[in-house]
């Protein structure tokens, strides 16, 4: 009996924490869910104002935060990292239809962006910044890492995924083609 009482208080608190449904670390089911969302990316201020809510807020602390206003009207704030940084820095990419591939974590309201495309002339395209001098392509606006010159916003049309039904082990999987037009001209393999 005395031996049981000598257990450290930290161990006892840990057991209670897990028993009551607390976070037990990496194996707690916190695997992110990959999602594809569509809507418009706006600053959080503009997103809140667009909802016409009777909501008073201080606009200054959230002035640089961007959010995706979903097609269903939901407001999902975006985490700022390398994949989403262009949406935070370049106003030209906001207030147009956007498709975001991202990760949602249980209990976290922010969406981690993996990649995104914006609609231009009826097609979703991937924005990037290009240096004509060095032929370098980057994901967000910055000086060229090579020549330190300005980089130009360019939209890159992504090829559509196509199904490759020829191999039984690969049946139903989607693959990117480098040139869909040539693939159509060549015909099935």
Number of structural domains in the chain = 1
Domain assignment of residue 153, given as a range:
30-175
**Is 44 part of a structural domain of the chain?**
yes
The answer to the question of residue 24 being in a domain is: no
12-16: average pLDDT:
36
pLDDT of residue 28: 55
Long-range contacts formed by 42-47: CB under 8 A, 24+ apart? 42/66, 42/67, 42/69, 42/94, 42/95, 43/67, 43/94, 44/75, 44/77, 46/95, 47/75
d(CA 107, CA 127): 30
Q: CA 90 to CA 182: how far, in whole Å?
A: 34
Looking at residue 160, its pLDDT comes to 58
119-175 pLDDT, tens per residue? 999 999 999 999 999 999 999 999 999 999 999 999 998 765 444 444 344 344 343
**Coil/strand/helix, residue 115:** strand
Residues 112 and 102 sit within 8 Å (Cβ to Cβ):
yes
pLDDT for position 101:
97
Residue 23: is its pLDDT beyond 80? no
Asked if residue 128 is part of any domain, the answer here is yes
Using only the alpha carbons of the chain, give its radius of gyration. 23
Is pLDDT of 18 > 90? no
Q: How far apart are CA 116 and CA 124, in angstroms?
A: 9
What's the pLDDT score for residue 29? 56
Mean pLDDT, the chain, as a whole number? 78
User: What pLDDT, in 10s, does the model give residues 44-62?
Assistant: 999 999 888 888 889 899 9
Residue 9 lies in a domain: no
Is residue 25 one of the residues assigned to a domain? no
At residue 179, does pLDDT exceed 90?
no
The per-residue pLDDT for 158 is 72
pLDDT value for 159: 65
pLDDT band at 93 (very low <50, low <70, confident <90, very high): very high
Tell me whether residue 19 is in a domain: no
Domain-embedded: residue 182: no
Banded pLDDT at 1 (limits 50, 70, 90): very low
Window from 18-32, 87-101, 167-181 with minimum mean pLDDT: 167-181
Residue 124 falls inside a structural domain? yes
Per-residue pLDDT for 2 more than 70?
no
Answering whether pTM is above 0.85, one says: no
């Amino acid at each position: 009996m005395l031996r049981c009482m000598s257990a450290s208080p930290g161990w006892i608190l840990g057991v209670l924490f897990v028993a009551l449904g607390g976070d037990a670390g990496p194996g707690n089911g916190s695997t992110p869910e990959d999602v594809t969302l569509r809507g418009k990316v706006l600053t959080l201020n503009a997103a809140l104002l667009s909802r016409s809510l009777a909501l008073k807020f201080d606009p200054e602390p959230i002035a640089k935060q961007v959010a995706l206003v979903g097609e269903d009207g939901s407001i999902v704030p975006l985490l700022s990292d390398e994949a989403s940084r262009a949406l935070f820095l370049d106003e030209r990419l906001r207030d147009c239809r956007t498709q975001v591939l991202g990760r949602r974590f249980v209990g976290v309201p922010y969406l981690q962006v993996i990649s995104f495309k914006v609609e231009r002339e009826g097609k979703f395209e991937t924005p990037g910044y290009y240096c004509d001098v060095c032929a370098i392509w980057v994901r967000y606006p910055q000086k060229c890492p090579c020549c330190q010159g300005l980089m130009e916003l360019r939209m890159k049309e992504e090829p559509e995924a196509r199904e490759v039904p020829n191999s039984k082990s690969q049946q139903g999987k989607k693959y990117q083609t480098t040139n869909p037009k040539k693939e159509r001209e060549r015909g099935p393999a």
